C-alpha cells in the first residue's frame, strides 16, 4: 500500500484522536506534525502549517478529506497537502499507516518533513 520504506514510529492508539479532529506532535528541532482523523475514519499526517501564513491546520474544521485553516479559511487537502480551489500552495505530508489499532509515522519523514514533501501523495489509512 505504502511505497515508502524506512522505520515506522509508533505514536499511539487510533482512539486518542476523535473522528473529525486532529492532534499535534511536536518534533524537537523539526516541524510540528498534525495527525488528522476524518469523519470517514481515515488518518493523515501533515506538517502543522498552512502554506498561506503558517496557520496551525490541526485547529481547523475537518470536512471530507480536507481541513479549513483556522486563520484565513484556506482549504487544504489532507491527502496531498495541496491548497484547494483558487489558492495555491502545498503543505508537506507524512506517510502514515495503521496497524493493530495504532498509528505509525515514517520516521525519516517525521524528522525531515521537507524531504517528504518531494514524495507523492499518501494513500489514506482506514481504521480497522
Select from 124, 127, 105 the least CA-distant residue to 41: 127
CB of 92 to another protein, least distance (A): 15
By CB under 8 A, residue 53 contacts another protein: yes
CA distance 1 to 46: 18
Judged by CB under 8 A, the residue of 4, 90, 98, 127 near another protein is 127
State which residue, 56 or 118, has the beta carbon closest to another protein. 56
Site for another protein in 83-122 (CB under 8 A): 107, 110-111, 121
Question: 109: which residues sit within 8 A by CB, 6+ positions away?
Answer: 4, 6, 92, 94, 95, 115, 116, 119
C-alpha cell of residue 77: 487537502
The least CB distance from residue 94 to another protein, in Å, is 11
Per-residue x/- track, 57-76, another protein (CB under 8 A): --xxxxxxx--x-xx-x-x-
CA dist., res. 49 & res. 26, Å (int) = 12
CA distance 123 to 55: 24
What's the DSSP call for residue 88? Answer: -
From the CB of 118, what's the least distance to another protein, in Å? 18
Binding site for another protein (CB under 8 A): 1, 7, 9-12, 15-21, 23-30, 33, 35, 39-42, 53-56, 59-65, 68, 70-71, 73, 75, 77, 79-80, 82, 107, 110-111, 121, 124, 126-128
Amino acid at each position: 500500500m505504502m511505497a515508502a520504506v524506512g522505520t515506522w514510529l509508533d505514536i499511539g492508539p487510533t482512539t486518542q484522536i476523535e473522528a473529525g479532529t486532529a492532534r499535534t506532535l511536536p518534533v524537537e528541532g523539526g516541524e510540528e506534525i498534525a495527525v488528522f482523523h476524518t469523519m470517514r475514519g481515515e488518518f493523515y499526517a501533515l506538517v502543522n502549517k498552512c502554506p498561506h501564513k503558517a496557520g496551525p491546520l490541526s485547529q481547523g474544521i475537518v470536512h471530507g478529506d480536507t481541513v479549513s485553516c483556522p486563520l484565513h479559511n484556506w482549504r487544504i487537502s489532507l491527502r496531498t497537502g495541496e491548497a484547494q480551489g483558487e489558492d495555491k500552495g502545498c503543505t508537506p505530508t507524512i506517510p502514515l499507516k495503521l496497524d493493530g489499532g495504532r498509528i505509525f509515522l515514517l520516521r525519516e519523514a517525521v524528522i525531515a518533513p521537507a524531504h517528504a514533501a518531494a514524495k507523492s501523495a499518501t494513500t489514506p489509512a482506514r481504521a480497522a
